[in-house]
A and B are shown apart, each in its own frame.
Chain A
Amino acid sequence: MPNYSARIIITLKNGVLDPQGKASAGALSGLGFEGVESVRQGKVMDVELSTSDEATARADLSAMCEKLLANTVIEDFEITALTERQMA
Chain B
Amino acid sequence: MAVSVIQFPGSNRDQDMLDAMAHTTGKAPHDVWHADTALPADTQAIVLPGGFSYGDYLRCGAIAARAPIMAEVIKAAERGMPVLGVCNGFQILIEAGLLPGALMRNASLRFVCKSVDLKVECTRSTFLSGFAKDDVWSCPVAHGDGNYVCTPDMLKSLQDDDCIAVTYANNSNPNGSVADIAGITNKAGNVLGMMPHPENIALPHQPSQTGAKLFEGLLNLAA
Interface residues on A, range: 10 to 19
Q: Could you tell me the distance between the alpha carbons of A23 and B109 in the complex, rounded to whole angstroms? A: 8
CB contact list, B188-217 vs A, under 8 A: none
Interface residues on B, range: 20 to 34
Q: Does B106 contact A (CB under 8 A)?
A: yes
Q: For residue B100, which residue of chain A has the nearest CB?
A: A73
CB contact list, A9-43 vs B, under 8 A: 16-17, 19-20, 23
Q: Does B37 contact A (CB under 8 A)?
A: no
Say whether A74 contacts B102, CB under 8 Å. yes
Given A68-B62, A68-B66, CB of A74 within 8 Å of CB of B109: no
Q: Could you tell me the distance between the alpha carbons of A74 and B100 in the complex, rounded to whole angstroms? A: 11
Q: Could you tell me the distance between the alpha carbons of A24 and B16 in the complex, rounded to whole angstroms? A: 37
Say whether B62 contacts A73, CB under 8 Å. no
- Which secondary structure dominates where chain B touches chain A? loop
Q: For residue A70, which residue of chain B has the nearest CB?
A: B59
Q: Does B95 contact A (CB under 8 A)?
A: yes
Chain A residues, CB < 8 A from B154: 73
Say whether A73 contacts B150, CB under 8 Å. yes
Say whether A71 contacts B109, CB under 8 Å. no
Say whether B109 contacts A19, CB under 8 Å. yes
The listed residue (A68, A69, A74) touching B104 by CB distance below 8 A is A74
Chain B residues, CB < 8 A from A69: 58
Q: Does B105 contact A (CB under 8 A)?
A: yes
Give B residues with C-beta under 8 Å from A: 58-59, 62, 66, 95, 100-102, 104-109, 147, 149-151, 154, 176
Give A residues with C-beta under 8 Å from B: 16-17, 19-20, 23, 68-69, 71, 73-74
